[in-house]
Amino acid sequence: MEEPVASAAVGIVTSQAKEYASPYLRYFFCYGEIAEDFKNQRNALKLRKQRVKTRVDEAKRQIEIIYDDVEDWLRRAEKELEETQNLQDEVDRVKCFKWCPQWGWRYCLSKKLAEKTPIITELLKTSNFAQVGYRGSLQGIEFITSTDFMDSESSKSALNQIMEAISAKGVNMIGLHGMPGVGKTTLAKEVGKLAREQKLFDKVVMFTMSQNPDINKIQHKVAAMFDLKFQTDMEDTRAEELWVRLKAEKDILIIVDDLWEEFKLERIGIPFGEDHKGCKILLTTRQQQVCSKMKCKEIPLGILSKDEAWVLFRDQAGLEDDCSILNEVAKEVAGECKGLPLAIVTVAKALKDKSLDEWRDANQRFKDSTHLYDEEVLGGCPRAS
C-alpha cells in the first residue's frame, strides 16, 4: 500500500509544480520532460547546422561570399553543440526515472538542461536564412595571374612615373606609349596589380580596345566588374547605365589597353575628368599622337638595353653564360630582336634546346627578314622548325 500512496503523492506534487511553474520544483519533479525537450531541441539544432553548413559549402563552390550573420550563426551553433555535448552524454549515460533516489543530481542536471534549452531554441528560430551568400564583384583575372613584369630600367622608370601620376591630383588620364612588343600591356597589368595591393582604388578594371573594338563586349565586361545587369540591348542606353553606376564609386582606375586611335570613352559609359574626378584612366597605345589627342600625361616605354636584352634572351632560351659558339650565335639572334621583350621571349622559347645548325639557320632567316619589327611582331618572327 505504501508504494501506491507515495506514487500518488509524487504525482500531486509534480502536477502542482507544473501548475505554479516554480523552476525549483520543476527541476526536481519534471526531469524527464526537461531532459526530453533538451534532447529533441539539441538534435534539431545539430540537423539544422548540418543543413546550413551544406548550403554554405555549396555557395562557396559557386564563389559566393557568405553573409556575416550566417557565419556567426554557424559559429554559435557549433559552440553550443560542443558545450552541451557533456550534458547530452550525461543524459544518455544515466537513465533516471521517476523514482531515481539521486535528488541532488536530478536537480543540478535539470537546471543545466533547462537553462540551455532556450538558447538552443533561439538558435533554431534564427536559422531560416533565405540566402547564405552573394556573388562578390569580380576582381579581374588580369591582376590575379602573374604579370611577368620585366624589371628593366625603362620599365621601372615608366612604372614609377605612372604610380606617381595616378596618385596625383589634377591628373585624370595617363598615356603609356611605345613600340609593339615593348611590354606596354605587361606594365599596365603590373600597375593594376600594385594599385589593388596598395588599395589605391576601390576598383581596378582593365579591358582591351584593339584596332576594331567590340563596344558591346567591353561594356559587359566592365558591367560585370560592378555587378551591373543591363536592362537594355541598346549601346547608348547601356553606356548611360554604366555611366551612372561608375559615378557611384568613389575611386576607380580604368586601364584601356591597346588603343589605336582617339576614342571617346563616354561611348562606353566611362565618366572621368570633371564628370568623375575619382576615376583615373591609364591607356596604352603604339602611337604617341593618340596620347596627345586624348590629352594624356604622356609616359614613354623604351626598349631593353643590349645587356638587359641578352640576359632575358639567355634565360628564356635556357643557355649557360659562357663563351661557346652557340652563345655567340644566340647573341646575334638576340640582337635581331632589337630590345623588344615580346620578340625576345618568343624567339628564345622557340629556339630553346635546338641544335647549333638550327640556331644558325634561324639567325640567317632573321637577317634576311624585313618583317620582324612590323606591328604584327609575333606573326613576323621566323620560328625554328
Q: What is the pLDDT of residue 268?
A: 94
Q: How far, in Å, are 14, 237, 309, 335, 354 from residue 266 at the CA level?
A: 80, 12, 40, 43, 51
- Phi and psi torsions of 369, nearest 5°: -80, 145
User: What's the average model confidence in pLDDT over 24-35?
Assistant: 71
* Residues 56-112 pLDDT 10s: 999 888 778 899 999 999 999 999 999 888 888 877 776 644 445 566 667 777 788
Residue of 362, 367, 368 whose CA lies nearest to 384: 362
Q: Give dist(CA 142, CA 263) in Å, integer.
A: 23
Contact 31, 109 (CB under 8 A): yes
Residue range 206-217, pLDDT digits in tens: 999 988 999 999
CATH class of 306-380: mainly alpha
State percent of the chain over pLDDT 90: 49
For residue 27, the model assigns a pLDDT of: 63
List C-alpha distances in Å: 376 to 6, 58, 259, 379: 103, 45, 15, 5
Mean residue pLDDT across the chain = 83
Mean pLDDT in residue range 141-159 = 76
Per-residue pLDDT tens digits for 330-355: 999 999 998 998 899 999 999 999 99
pLDDT digits (tens, 9 = 90+) for 50-63: 999 999 999 888 77
Question: What pLDDT, on a 0 to 100 scale, did the predictor assign at position 320?
Answer: 85
Average pLDDT over residues 163-169: 92
DSSP E strand stretches across the chain: 64-66, 133-135, 173-177, 203-210, 252-259, 279-285, 297-300
Q: Does domain 141-297 match CATH 3.40.50.300?
A: yes
Q: Where are the domains of the chain?
A: 2-135, 141-297, 306-380
